[in-house]
Structure 1
């Protein structure tokens, strides 16, 4: 029994020790977390106290500024009061002086008239006929003269000058004073993506603001969007941003942009109290527009007047039946009238009923009498009856595409070394060449039957703009800094 008891004790002691060690470790971990939490709370409280102190300082500063501004207004009103009061007194003195002169003239005329009346009455009372005739003639002439010149004798009394249209109208100023308020920075404006427009080298940005009347100006900032998801770091890269200051309207057109390129735009609303930025908006320019170049067209091809459609002479089909049996002179093609050496470009080709064609790009040095894709200077997507292939440097690779393919999309991302082909109707990716382009390339087009039609200068579609979406895994990265941005990041 004793031996069994000792054996049980030897088993129990390690278990107790392990339990003790576990409890100790748990307590130490909890204590560490609690100390860390206390430190965080202390730091948070210190920040809050600092903010409170800053609020006190800012409030005192604003109160002092309010007193200063109001005192300036009162001083301006006092000065204007003095100026206007002096004008009123000067007007009063001028009017009273003129009126006093008119009163003196009236008094003088009145005295002369009274004297003539007295003399006339005295003459009328003269009983001596001889004396009457002597005095009456003289008096009569003077009375007649005074009556005839009565307009001169009447003083010039102008009541309009005495009671002119002088008034004090401070209604506008009162409204301004009543509208005085504590000015704050305007609310962030909002970029209206649905109103924004683009060409191959311009983007017109439209925005709205809730505080339109308090905004003194707007500032537009933009930069090329490189796919960087951390927009805070991107925004802090001051050197990479272009700035358009002092915009007075709620729209602006930016010129000189790269074709087929995505940009990030911010709009800043500004007044005397400060400024606030809009959420970022991702906008992109259209592709470089181009046409088919008649100078490079095969003599048996017919181009439309607008150089957007190419048509093959069907009689030439009698010479052969498959692309591989064509001679070196059997490649009926043409090139676009542009050479591309930068940016991202997208165009589409309407295939119609054509079943033999090739579409791609080539260097200027590519052989003119050779089928595109047969050399190291060209890359093409081709259809030969029911077979779809991509070809470069003589190497062919079968690819999957629908026999009902009627609209082929071509994406040339020169800067990222990619040439992609898409079924534009179904938004399906067909194939992408990874090419380190060394020279400018021109779009190329070849047909053996029917016709092709070119659509260029198009915006890059969303299903092409996001490489992840091509594989069906494109996901929007939600972030407070990414709201308002179109498409996948």
Structure 2
């Protein structure tokens, strides 16, 4: 009984394995049948396309033959016309020569007869007339002789089909060009333009290029984006291997595709991702506090230590101690990134403010400004008098600011260490401008920068 049970269990196990293998075999067979169907369909397409190309070849060759026959007829007609003109002129010249010969022969005959005259009186009578006629004929021989051009015998003309023969010998069927390659390392950008460069292995067979581009966000899917015709801007009929696109949004990433086109078809490059820089700006000297000094290039602001003898502690915490300067731009859309180089300053604030923000109030103390501030070793972010302490690297020397106006966020970063420091979520109601406060030493701004790659698609919530 135990042996029977073991045998029954083995049969059950084998039956299950067989059933599983059979299912896999059926599935594999179905896949092979589907593949074979696709191969057969592809063969049919090859047959149809090859026949179409053969018919097209016959049509093109017939057209070439017709053109050659037409040109042969035209050139042959020109040769016949040239022959007729030359033979007619030569016949006229021959007739003129014949007339001159006849006149000369008649005059020679008369002179010969006169010389044979034995009657002296008669000889003198006719000899004088004959002599005059001979003299006149000799003197006017150039006029009597017709103009004859012995060189115009049609041997100075030739048929030269060398170029056409080479063209015919080089005839071949044309294929679509190889896909171009976008050279991202050669591409350049400003805050509203991108110049795209590409290369092509067989550019001599390319008739023109077509450039397509669309905005690319962190949520974009390249495959679905490529299939969506509505999302793309198209620049057709480009003859060079580069093109500058104008009117782009600042601080925005775009996806580009280049198509190489000729009579045989089109092939597209792999998508290339390029981005515009942030909008450039400088410091506005007219907005600077009287105790601040702005450099000649309007990129550095420093505290003028000689302008006041008051203690720093009184200035820093007085209601009128906002030693600030604004950027010369107001922002109401898009994404923007800039950096502040901390030139040894231990008392400063960097951020943004509405145009309506109080001019002499400490930034961040009101509802119209958002800043990150350092007071000696104390780091805080501040808005509407609410302060939140943060802990950046003690060696922070470059402060990055990312403003996404459309999404309503303002983020601060350690630009060297790529450390995220804080993000304000803001429901913007007015345009904003960059603001910088300095209580000692100096700050230098860097603007018009591309948004760093590691900040693309970031979403911080504080």
TM range (shorter): over 0.9
Hey, what does 2:57 align to over in structure 1?
66
**Residues 278, 449 of structure 2: 8 Å contact kept:** yes
Select between 73-82 and 390-399 the one with higher mean Cα deviation.
390-399
- Aligned counterparts of 1:81 and 1:128: Cα–Cα separation in 2: 72
Select between 217-226 and 387-396 the one with higher mean Cα deviation.
387-396
What is the Cα deviation at residue 128 of structure 1? 3.5
TM alignment of 1:56-455, pairs within 5 A: 56-163=47-154, 165-228=156-219, 230-315=221-306, 318-322=309-313, 326-455=317-446
- Aligned counterparts of 1:203 and 1:459: Cα–Cα separation in 2: 12
Hey, what does 1:487 align to over in structure 2?
none
What is the Cα deviation at residue 238 of structure 1? 1.0
Select between 311-320 and 264-273 the one with higher mean Cα deviation.
311-320
Q: Structure 1's 160 and 253: CA in aligned 2 closer, same or farther, altered over 3 A?
A: farther
SS at match of 2:45: helix
SS at match of 2:343: coil
**Unaligned ranges ≥5, structure 2:** none
- Aligned counterparts of 2:354 and 2:368: Cα–Cα separation in 1: 5
- Aligned counterparts of 1:443 and 1:14: Cα–Cα separation in 2: 85
**Unaligned ranges ≥5, structure 1:** 1-8, 471-489
- Aligned counterparts of 2:316 and 2:438: Cα–Cα separation in 1: 14
Cα deviation 1:209-266 (Å, max 9, x = unaligned): 1111111110000000112463111111111100001111111110000001100000
- Aligned counterparts of 1:303 and 1:12: Cα–Cα separation in 2: 100
- Aligned counterparts of 1:345 and 1:160: Cα–Cα separation in 2: 83
What is the Cα deviation at residue 31 of structure 1? 2.1
Q: Structure 1's 82 and 334: CA in aligned 2 closer, same or farther, altered over 3 A?
A: same
Hey, what does 2:46 align to over in structure 1?
55
Q: Structure 1's 14 and 318: CA in aligned 2 closer, same or farther, altered over 3 A?
A: farther
- Aligned counterparts of 1:127 and 1:426: Cα–Cα separation in 2: 139
SS at match of 1:409: strand
What is the Cα deviation at residue 459 of structure 1? 1.8
Aligned length: 460
Select between 410-419 and 165-174 the one with higher mean Cα deviation.
410-419
**Residues 217, 457 of structure 2: 8 Å contact kept:** no
- Aligned counterparts of 1:242 and 1:292: Cα–Cα separation in 2: 36
**Residues 341, 444 of structure 2: 8 Å contact kept:** yes
**Residues 323, 384 of structure 1: 8 Å contact kept:** no
- Aligned counterparts of 1:46 and 1:323: Cα–Cα separation in 2: 87
Select between 444-453 and 298-307 the one with higher mean Cα deviation.
298-307
What is the Cα deviation at residue 171 of structure 1? 1.3
TM-score (norm 2): 0.93
SS at match of 1:131: helix
What is the Cα deviation at residue 318 of structure 1? 4.8
- Aligned counterparts of 2:160 and 2:11: Cα–Cα separation in 1: 91
- Aligned counterparts of 2:70 and 2:37: Cα–Cα separation in 1: 49
**Residues 290, 336 of structure 1: 8 Å contact kept:** yes
- Aligned counterparts of 2:422 and 2:3: Cα–Cα separation in 1: 70
- Aligned counterparts of 1:343 and 1:147: Cα–Cα separation in 2: 104
**Residues 316, 439 of structure 2: 8 Å contact kept:** no
- Aligned counterparts of 1:148 and 1:415: Cα–Cα separation in 2: 107
SS at match of 1:444: strand
SS at match of 2:152: helix
What is the Cα deviation at residue 406 of structure 1? 2.7
What is the Cα deviation at residue 348 of structure 1? 1.8
**Residues 322, 384 of structure 1: 8 Å contact kept:** no
Alignment RMSD, CA only? Answer: 2.4
Select between 434-443 and 93-102 the one with higher mean Cα deviation.
434-443
Cα deviation 1:347-388 (Å, max 9, x = unaligned): 122221221111111222322222222223222121111222
- Aligned counterparts of 1:323 and 1:53: Cα–Cα separation in 2: 90
